Amino acid sequence: MKRALVTGVTGQDGAYLSQLLLGKGYEVFGMLRRSSSGDVIDERLRWLGIAGQVTMVDGNLLDLSSLLRIVQEVRPDEVYNLAAQSFVKSSWNQPLLTGQVTALGAGNMLEAVRLTAPNARFYQASSSEMYGLIQEPIQSEKTPFYPRSPYAVAKLYAHWMTINYRESFGLHASSGILFNHESPLRGIEFVTRKVTDAVARIKLGLASELKLGNIDAKRDWGHARDYVHAMWLMLQQDKPDDYVVATGRTTSVRDMCRIAFDHVGLNYEEFVKVDAAYLRPAEVDILLGDSTKARTTLGWDPATSLEDLIREMVDADLARHRKRAR
């Protein structure tokens, strides 16, 4: 039985990845940063029905000693570093914390693996936000980076550290440059979930409007369930490498709103309001990924369309609010 260690296990990607690994017969260990909200922190794992199947271990990316202890105790075959301060907008308000957790935290994890489990295979969650002010209309592994937020800068540090540890120490370390990926488990602070939750509340008479920032920003959106499969495939390769994971289709926030409101028979134009308070200090206007390498080398292909993804999210939020109203 293979052993996998997953940081960020209670997040969207950590939950779906744990479900995938358990289905493949892995023993899954999730690193948990303890807090006073421990009674609800495994909500996503419970949503997927796997909370009792993941072994939780206490640790923190900022504490190298805890990472060394965890890796020594777990003896993982595979390590997936998904933990981060991952909300882009908050990174301007918390730039140093974002750098410590998202950038230096990844360095700590790489160092712990190098020192205590050098034969383990390592995955780093990189981000399409690293492309920022895009230098090419379609972004591939060879497109230059131009980060436009403290979050993106931190992710870029972690990305290059992963490459450095691979080339300097021979670690089987790969990075997935994942474009936006969503699901019913997405945090409410992210725009897709903010939209689908608002659609559900408006449909049920619990709200009357939805305030957003730049609704003409375009993103390449896929389903997290598909994207964690790409993560796993990367660590099954003989040679570590970096891969763009994307659908190859870009859609504006405006059109995403249209899909979500259409699903419940409403016109988005009657409810969506643009509010300057939600604009970013530096906007990333469009992202569109070229995942040719992942498709040809890994045999990966996204299975869920944007329309099906948004409908699934709206239905999940309708179910949540109906349950609360009982």
One domain for residues 208 and 75: no
One domain for residues 233 and 321: no
Per-residue pLDDT at 241 exceeds 90: yes
One domain for residues 214 and 109: no
* Nearest of 32, 27, 314, 24 to residue 194 by alpha carbon: 314
pLDDT of residue 284: 73
**Of 46 and 38, more confident:** 46
Q: How many domains does the chain have?
A: 2
Determine the Cα–Cα distance for residues 57 and 1; give it in Å rounded to an integer. Answer: 19
317 touches 200 (CB < 8 A):
yes
| Whole-structure pTM value | 0.94
Domain assignment present for 66: yes
One domain for residues 74 and 208: no
With cut-offs at 50, 70 and 90, classify the pLDDT of residue 36: very low
Domain assignment present for 297: no
With cut-offs at 50, 70 and 90, classify the pLDDT of residue 86: confident
Tens of pLDDT along 151-181? 999 999 999 999 999 999 999 999 999 999 9
Q: Above pLDDT 70, what percent of the chain?
A: 97
One domain for residues 76 and 158: yes
One domain for residues 154 and 7: yes
Residue 307 burial (CB < 10 Å; 0-12/13-18/19+)?
middle
Residues facing 172 on adjacent strands: 121
User: Domain range holding 150?
Assistant: 3-181+221-245
Whose structure tokens read 């790489």?
Answer: 110
Determine the Cα–Cα distance for residues 9 and 60; give it in Å rounded to an integer. Answer: 12
Whose structure tokens read 């375009």?
Answer: 218
One domain for residues 204 and 90: no
Number of neighbours of residue 277 by Cβ within 10 angstroms:
6
One domain for residues 141 and 206: no
One domain for residues 107 and 200: no
The count of C-alpha atoms lying within 13 angstroms of the C-alpha of 100, restricted to the half-sphere facing its C-beta, is: 9
One domain for residues 112 and 77: yes
pLDDT of residue 232: 98
Determine the Cα–Cα distance for residues 84 and 186; give it in Å rounded to an integer. Answer: 14
One domain for residues 169 and 28: yes
Tens of pLDDT along 120-144? 999 999 999 999 999 999 999 999 9
Residue 241 φ/ψ region, left for φ over 0, alpha for ψ in the -120 to 50 degree band, beta for the rest:
beta
Domain assignment present for 300: no
132 touches 148 (CB < 8 A):
yes
Residues with catalytic annotation? 127, 129, 151
Whose structure tokens read 């009357």?
Answer: 208
With cut-offs at 50, 70 and 90, classify the pLDDT of residue 40: low
* Nearest of 121, 133, 123, 131 to residue 156 by alpha carbon: 131
One domain for residues 136 and 203: no
CATH code of 110's domain: 3.40.50.720
Per-residue pLDDT at 16 exceeds 80: yes
Domain assignment present for 295: no
How does the average pLDDT of the chain come out, rounded?
94
CATH code of 257's domain: 3.90.25.10
